[in-house]
A and B are shown apart, each in its own frame.
Chain A
Amino acid sequence: MFGSKVQRSGHSYRHLFNGWARIRKPSSTQPNWSPKERKFCKSPANYSDFSVARLWLYGFYRQMKNSKSNKTKSAGLPKSPTGIQGLDEITFGGFPKGRSSLICGGAGCGKTLLGLEFLVNGARQYNEPGVFVTFEEGAQELIANVSSLKFELNKLVEQRLILLDHVRVERSEIEESGEYDLEGLFIRLEHAIDKIGAKRVVLDTVEGLFAGFSNQGIIRAELRRLFQFLKTKGVTSIITAERGEGTLTRQGLEEYVADCVILLDNRIIDQVSTRRLRIVKYRGSSHGANEYPFLIDEGGFAVLPITSLGLQHQVSDEVVPTGVPDLDAMLAVGGYYRGSSIFVSGTAGTGKSTLAASLVSAANQRGERAQYFSFEESPSQLIRNMLSVGIDLKRGIKQGLFKIISNRPAFFGLEMHLVTIHKLISEFKPTVVVIDPITSLVSASNYNDVRAMVTRLIDFLKFEKITSLFTSLSDTNPSLEKTDIEVSSLMDTWLLLRDIELNGERNRGLYVLKSRGMAHSNQIREFVLSKDGIKLIDVYAGTGGS
């Protein structure tokens, strides 16, 4: 047994005999021995074969345990969770506990909100009261500003879980004469912390301090002392600061607060703004290094770590019916695989949305949830149009199994679309998702970005085992098999819809261009939209047809 173990691991087997070494040297130089062990080894009567073997095994076990616990220890700097969706994931647990973090960014990018939410979540979810020191807005102003969000700041203040302290620094009222320090602020802060037993402190924009006093040297020295003071108080603190030109902060604060620096950014590209967050540094901890888009909505902050999940998803053999029996018959397994991505491309008016709606309605009939992201039609328009071909989407909506989300592509940036889709999917937890059409997203950005976005979306959907259907509007150019966004290689099943003009008629044709992991028909079938849904009629069966 041991021989095989040694062979397999390929290491020296000396460590296996540590137990022996311990028995021979039961000295007090082994500080991590429990009193029980030491006593056991000191008494020679215990040196029976049985107990030696037991001790040896125990030593072996201890070593295994130690090596395991060491590993977890090195990975874990104590952290203070923010309770903000996504942020805890990319920081691997939150802000460093008992230390100071810096949040920097330009005006209006959400610094105050992030700080406030850290406190609110701390008070509500983690039983950690917090002090919010503001140098800018008054307490009442602040409460009014965030009243549109679901923070209920008033209540938390009443419950003494959050203490708002507005420090007014008015340059015009202050005359300087001789030496001074900021001991007053320290005393005030300490008083506030002790009053409610705070574990978290937020100082909202320290620029306020710099604006109030002319002697910058003193303020700098005092700030450094302030961070030390906060550390000794054992509170997890956040300091917000304005972004400077070429530096992270206008006052170079990143030199003082070195434990964790987060940069917020509100970028406008093609008149569309996207908020992004980046962890610039996080001492003693690994963190997500990318720029992550984030949302501010009525629930507060939401960061979405969606840059790439990679290709680690598990696949399913389960089959999801397409909602069109004739199409099921064209696919050897009788439908799409669950969690696969389906691409439906075709020219205008070939029935792409109808095909998508059939999939959704079939899912609803099975009692599964589905979500439809429409970039061109409003919910009521979609419902009416689908009813005309015998697909009743209303029933699913009434049962709470179906949701249509309509947004114009230019409503916000691509990242934002992705983030919104993510958020809504995470909330609704559907098994089928339709994006109709992805081509119109190009109007919100360019081809490359759309392709990158679709990749990330597919990664996410596959990871969640959600069957997804993307429609794509093709130009009426000869090469239909070249999609505009060139995402076809990402897709598992590709259905092509096209017009067939023949004998004075214009008919719709459908064929399966590819379907990974299953045999499929090679026929081009005529595609009929009837009152009872989609029907496929044989249109052409040549020499190779079955």
Chain B
Amino acid sequence: MAKRRPKKAAPRRDDYVLRLYTSGSTPRSARAIDNIRKICEDRLSGRYQLDVIDLYQQPELAQSDDVIAIPTLVKELPPPKRRVVGDLSDEKRVLIGLALPATKVGA
């Protein structure tokens, strides 16, 4: 289920390590996946690692990351650890959560 990109290479210092927790293939989860992919490709192309975790498949992972709400995006690196809950449709809030500048890179 987990999709990694770029390939398993250890994250570099300024790489983003993100995990998205979903529950099965609900429309909301699908929306969240689409949204985060788009944001990542736009802003962090080539320097992020995104894992999509289906909690139905791996319920034990909910405890380690304290996931309650679905979908939840966890930003593991760079510190501080932050969470964004929801289908990530509000791009501004996602960017605040990920501590990314509001303007596009290179725009």
Which residues of A are at the interface with B, using a C-beta cutoff of 8 A? Answer: 165, 167-169, 173-185, 187-188, 190-191, 209, 212-213
Contact B84 A176 (CB under 8 A): yes
CB proximity of B19 to chain A, nearest CB, Å: 12
CB proximity of A134 to chain B, nearest CB, Å: 12
CB proximity of A88 to chain B, nearest CB, Å: 33
Q: Does B60 sit within 8 A of A, measured CB to CB?
A: yes
Q: Which residue of A lies closest to B87 (CB)?
A: A178
Q: Does B103 sit within 8 A of A, measured CB to CB?
A: no
Instruction: Known contacts A175-B97, A177-B94, A179-B28; decide if A184 and B87 are in contact (CB<8 Å).
Output: no
Contact B87 A190 (CB under 8 A): no
CB contacts under 8 Å to A, within B28-69, are 28, 31-32, 35, 55-56, 59-60, 62-63, 66-69
Q: How large is the interface on B (under 10, 10 to 19, 20 to 34, 35 or more residues)?
A: 35 or more
How far is it, in angstroms, between the C-alpha of A359 and the C-alpha of B66 when the chains are bound?
Answer: 64
Contact A187 B94 (CB under 8 A): no
Q: Does B21 sit within 8 A of A, measured CB to CB?
A: yes
Query: What residues on A are CB-neighbors of B78 within 8 Å?
Result: none
Query: What residues on B are CB-neighbors of A187 within 8 Å?
Result: 23, 55-56, 59, 62, 70
Contact of B69 among A165, A191, A213 (CB under 8 A): A213
CB proximity of A231 to chain B, nearest CB, Å: 20
Contact A169 B68 (CB under 8 A): yes
CB contacts under 8 Å to A, within B87-102, are 87-94, 96-97
Query: What residues on B are CB-neighbors of A184 within 8 Å?
Result: 21, 23, 55, 62, 67-70, 72
How far is it, in angstroms, between the C-alpha of A188 and the C-alpha of B93 when the chains are bound?
Answer: 26
Query: What residues on A are CB-neighbors of B81 within 8 Å?
Result: 173
9 closest Cβ pairs, A-B complex: A175-B97, A178-B86, A191-B59, A178-B89, A177-B93, A178-B87, A183-B70, A177-B90, A184-B67
Contact B86 A188 (CB under 8 A): no
Q: Which residue of B lies closest to A169 (CB)?
A: B68
Contact A209 B68 (CB under 8 A): yes
Q: Does B77 sit within 8 A of A, measured CB to CB?
A: no
Contact B87 A167 (CB under 8 A): no
Is chain A's binding surface mostly helix, strand, loop or mixed?
mixed
How far is it, in angstroms, between the C-alpha of A184 and the C-alpha of B21 when the chains are bound?
Answer: 8
Instruction: Known contacts A180-B70, A182-B69, A182-B70; decide if A175 and B96 are in contact (CB<8 Å).
Output: yes
CB proximity of B54 to chain A, nearest CB, Å: 10
Instruction: Known contacts A184-B21, A187-B23, A187-B56; decide if A175 and B69 are in contact (CB<8 Å).
Output: no
CB proximity of B60 to chain A, nearest CB, Å: 6
How far is it, in angstroms, between the C-alpha of A545 and the C-alpha of B89 when the chains are bound?
Answer: 102
How far is it, in angstroms, between the C-alpha of A138 and the C-alpha of B49 when the chains are bound?
Answer: 31
How far is it, in angstroms, between the C-alpha of A469 and the C-alpha of B55 when the chains are bound?
Answer: 67
Extra A-B contacts (14), CB below 8 Å, given A184-B70, A188-B63: A175-B82, A178-B87, A178-B88, A179-B86, A180-B71, A180-B72, A181-B28, A181-B69, A184-B68, A184-B72, A187-B55, A188-B59, A188-B68, A212-B68
Query: What residues on A are CB-neighbors of B67 within 8 Å?
Result: 184, 188
Contact B70 A181 (CB under 8 A): yes
Contact A180 B82 (CB under 8 A): no
Query: What residues on A are CB-neighbors of B56 within 8 Å?
Result: 187
How far is it, in angstroms, between the C-alpha of A188 and the C-alpha of B61 when the chains are bound?
Answer: 9
Q: Does B85 sit within 8 A of A, measured CB to CB?
A: yes
Q: Which residue of B lies closest to A175 (CB)?
A: B97
Contact B23 A177 (CB under 8 A): no
Contact A177 B97 (CB under 8 A): yes
Contact of B86 among A180, A190, A212 (CB under 8 A): A180
Can you identify 22 A-B contacts, CB atoms within 8 angstroms? A167-B68, A169-B68, A173-B83, A175-B93, A176-B84, A176-B93, A177-B94, A178-B31, A178-B87, A180-B28, A180-B69, A180-B72, A180-B85, A180-B87, A182-B69, A184-B72, A188-B55, A191-B59, A191-B60, A209-B68, A212-B68, A213-B85
Query: What residues on A are CB-neighbors of B93 within 8 Å?
Result: 175-177
How far is it, in angstroms, between the C-alpha of A177 and the C-alpha of B35 when the chains are bound?
Answer: 11
Query: What residues on B are CB-neighbors of A185 within 8 Å?
Result: 68-69
How far is it, in angstroms, between the C-alpha of A165 and the C-alpha of B67 when the chains are bound?
Answer: 12
How far is it, in angstroms, between the C-alpha of A167 and the C-alpha of B62 when the chains are bound?
Answer: 10
Query: What residues on B are CB-neighbors of A168 within 8 Å?
Result: 66
Q: Which residue of A lies closest to B67 (CB)?
A: A184
Contact B82 A173 (CB under 8 A): yes
Contact of B87 among A179, A188, A213 (CB under 8 A): A179
How far is it, in angstroms, between the C-alpha of A190 and the C-alpha of B96 when the chains are bound?
Answer: 32
How far is it, in angstroms, between the C-alpha of A212 and the C-alpha of B67 when the chains are bound?
Answer: 12
Contact of B59 among A167, A176, A190, A209 (CB under 8 A): A190
Query: What residues on B are CB-neighbors of A180 within 8 Å?
Result: 28, 69-72, 85-87
How far is it, in angstroms, between the C-alpha of A261 and the C-alpha of B64 when the chains are bound?
Answer: 33
Query: What residues on A are CB-neighbors of B97 within 8 Å?
Result: 175, 177
Instruction: Known contacts A167-B68, A180-B70; decide if A175 and B94 are in contact (CB<8 Å).
Output: yes
Query: What residues on B are CB-neighbors of A174 within 8 Å?
Result: 82-85
CB proximity of A160 to chain B, nearest CB, Å: 15
Q: Which residue of A lies closest to B60 (CB)?
A: A191
Query: What residues on B are CB-neighbors of A209 within 8 Å?
Result: 68
How far is it, in angstroms, between the C-alpha of A180 and the C-alpha of B72 when the chains are bound?
Answer: 8
Query: What residues on A are CB-neighbors of B89 within 8 Å?
Result: 177-179
How far is it, in angstroms, between the C-alpha of A530 and the C-alpha of B21 when the chains are bound?
Answer: 86
CB proximity of A27 to chain B, nearest CB, Å: 52
How far is it, in angstroms, between the C-alpha of A184 and the C-alpha of B81 when the chains are bound?
Answer: 18
Q: Which residue of A lies closest to B62 (CB)?
A: A188
Query: What residues on A are CB-neighbors of B63 within 8 Å?
Result: 165, 188
